[in-house]
Amino acid sequence: MKSIKKRMSRCPSCGEKISIGENPKIGQYILCSICDEEVEIINLDPIVLDLIYVPDESGYAIDEFEFWDKDWKGM
């Protein structure tokens, strides 16, 4: 009987453990069952997950730190 090796990593959004499966691939999307965030495998050894890059309606990436920087520049 062949043993199945489960690979695990943590969701970058909520920190919950996510089962990766037997043959993960870089660029593969996985859904976190706890927070419903879709994450992407960006490294295999060790397995690293990251939030998926989603451009806003204008086609530019939404950068939360850009807004943070604007608030702090006035201080």
**1.10.3720.10, 2.70.98.40, 2.20.28.160, 3.40.50.300: which CATH number matches 8-73?**
2.20.28.160
Q: Which comes out higher in pLDDT, residue 30 or 59?
A: 30
Span 14-35, pLDDT tens digits:
999 999 988 999 999 999 999 9
Q: What are phi and psi of 64, to 5 degrees?
A: -60, -30
Q: What is the pTM of this model?
A: 0.64
CA 16 to chain centre: 12
Residue 6 pLDDT class (50, 70, 90 cuts) = confident
